[in-house]
């Protein structure tokens, strides 16, 4: 660890979550219930295939059933909706994950909305988003929840801090902004149209990078002593921040890989177990 710098080890946080889940999975098994996550993969995007495989492996290691549904790239929106409805009606399936992005001809939002709220363990429905905004979502979006979990694990204060979120996607930038706001942070949301972005980022006590561009956040933008949470993952195992440059100024930072990513997967497992517990 760099002197006086706190490297926020996502693998450590993820393991703590999974250790706590193991006993709960065992208790469910004693009642004849195996938590089950269904993952839907449309098309043959290599990155998506990798993500789905990683999630399936994580499920199996914890004793969670993983049902992989693979659909061809030519699948229509109606065909995908029919698959989702079938999983909604299957009592042995507790969580549904639609791996995104889906092929361009599919109405992704319609597909997300078709997921039963009780099985929306990835927090992608608009109703789930609204509940998250009010602070009572059963299953908030997994990456935002992972970011908050990392802060909590390392006992990094949120209340009273100025959080700058770079990115406004409906499953990352927007929900994490609301979660931090609900924890009494003052939140600024930035995006591609934000003027003087470097100056705005420089005001943040907490900086969340969720822009989807490699090494976009520069070290010179970071205020001395800020906490940097990199939610990006780009080709070559590169995040959305210039890690070495930001490390020089930050007091704490998540690496890529082994930062937010492992905690996102652990959060998905946690939500799946919770969904199974609610059905018992």
The residues carrying an active-site annotation are 55, 99, 122
CB atoms within 10 A of CB 221: 25
What is the number of alpha carbons within 13 Å of residue 214 lying toward its C-beta? Answer: 6
Of 177, 187, 191, nearest to 148 (Cα)? Answer: 177
What sections of 63-161 are H helices per DSSP? Answer: 77-89, 108-114, 126-134, 142-153
Burial class (CB in 10 A: 0-12, 13-18, 19+), 165: buried
What sign has the CA pseudo-torsion 83, 88, 89, 92?
positive
Q: CA dihedral defined by 86, 88, 92, 93, rounded to 10 degrees?
A: 110
Residue 122 has phi, psi (to 5 degrees) of: -100, 0
**Cβ neighbourhood burial of 56 (10 Å; 0-12, 13-18, 19+):** middle
The candidate with the shortest Cα–Cα distance to 242, out of 193, 260, 253, is 253
């Amino acid at each position: 660890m760099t002197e006086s710098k706190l490297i926020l080890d996502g693998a450590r946080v993820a393991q703590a979550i999974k250790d706590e889940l193991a006993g709960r999975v065992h208790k469910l098994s004693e009642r004849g219930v195996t938590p089950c996550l269904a993952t839907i993969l449309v098309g043959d995007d290599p990155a998506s295939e990798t993500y789905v495989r990683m999630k399936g492996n994580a499920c199996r290691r914890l004793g969670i059933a993983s049902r992989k549904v693979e659909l061809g790239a030519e699948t229509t929106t109606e065909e995908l909706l029919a698959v989702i409805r079938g999983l909604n009606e299957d009592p042995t399936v507790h969580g549904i994950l639609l791996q995104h992005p889906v092929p361009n001809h599919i109405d992704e939002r319609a597909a997300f909305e078709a997921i039963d709220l009780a099985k929306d363990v990835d927090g992608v429905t608009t109703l789930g988003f609204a509940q998250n905004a009010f602070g009572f979502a059963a299953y908030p979006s997994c990456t935002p929840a992972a970011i908050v979990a990392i802060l909590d694990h390392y006992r990094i204060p949120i209340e009273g801090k100025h959080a700058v979120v770079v990115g406004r996607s409906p499953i990352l930038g927007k929900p994490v902004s609301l979660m931090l706001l609900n924890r009494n942070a003052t939140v600024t949301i930035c995006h591609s149209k934000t003027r003087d972005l470097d100056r705005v980022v420089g005001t943040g006590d907490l900086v969340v990078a969720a822009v989807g561009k490699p090494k976009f956040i520069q070290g010179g933008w970071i205020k001395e002593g800020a906490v940097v949470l990199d939610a990006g993952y780009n080709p070559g195992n590169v995040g959305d921040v210039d890690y070495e440059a930001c490390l020089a100024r930050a007091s704490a930072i998540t690496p890529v890989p082994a930062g937010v990513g492992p905690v996102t997967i652990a959060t998905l497992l946690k939500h799946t177990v919770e969904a199974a517990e609610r059905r018992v």
